[in-house]
């Protein structure tokens, strides 16, 4: 493991180390990718936590739909692995596969202004949540928003009318009073 990242590329969080596994220095990882195992396709990780940054190399990984177990190069001790708990796993965004028209990565939606059909600014997308039925956008109030309410909007075709990344806007079919 090296102490600093290999480059200054724009990094995206794709998972988080949350525990150790076994006695040989493996770590348990929560993946933010879909499917979960896609995280294992990225062999070089930048780990970030509270200003600390480390570069690591993935040797192997396995898992299921809930979590992954990862073996990192040079990490063979359980207690040393325990020190990595809480680190976010990041990779440069330029490594992400291209999407087809109408598909977006969550990081592209975060920060978009959310505007209803009446032209009211409901707020900005702070983050998204994965639920069983559909993903949910957490829209928080911002400067010039209609009110100071946080809203949870479904990320569905029925709710999302249009997305304009260059304008930084998403148009939605949503009642401002709901």
Domains recognised in the chain with CATH numbers:
11-95 (2.40.30.60), 106-172 (2.30.30.240)
Distance (Å, rounded) from C-alpha 171 to C-alpha 21?
A: 44
Span 60-71, pLDDT tens digits:
999 877 789 999
> pLDDT digits over 42-60, tens only?
999 999 999 899 999 999 9
H-type helices in 40-121, by residue range? 78-82, 106-109
Q: Is the pLDDT of residue 164 over 90?
A: yes
What per-residue confidence (pLDDT) applies to 160? 97
At 11-41, the pLDDT tens digits run 999 999 999 999 999 999 999 888 899 999 9
Flag whether pLDDT at 125 surpasses 80.
yes
In this prediction the pTM is 0.79
């Amino acid at each position: 493991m090296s102490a600093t990242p290999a480059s200054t590329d724009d990094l995206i969080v794709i998972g988080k180390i949350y525990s150790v596994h076994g006695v040989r220095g493996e770590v348990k990882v929560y993946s933010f990718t879909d499917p979960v195992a896609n995280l294992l396709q990225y062999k070089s990780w930048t780990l970030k936590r509270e200003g600390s940054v480390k570069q690591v190399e993935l040797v192997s990984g396995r898992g299921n739909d809930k979590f992954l177990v990862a073996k990192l190069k040079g990490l063979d001790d359980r207690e040393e692995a325990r020190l990595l708990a809480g680190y976010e796993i990041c990779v440069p965004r330029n490594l992400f596969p291209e999407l087809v028209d109408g598909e977006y990565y969550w990081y592209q939606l975060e920060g978009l202004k959310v505007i209803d059909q009446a032209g009211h600014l409901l707020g900005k997308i702070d983050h998204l949540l994965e639920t069983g039925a559909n993903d949910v956008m957490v829209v928080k109030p911002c400067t010039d928003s209609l009110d100071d309410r946080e809203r949870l909007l479904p990320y569905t075709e029925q709710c999302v009318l249009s997305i304009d990344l260059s304008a930084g806007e998403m148009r939605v079919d949503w009642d401002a009073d709901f």
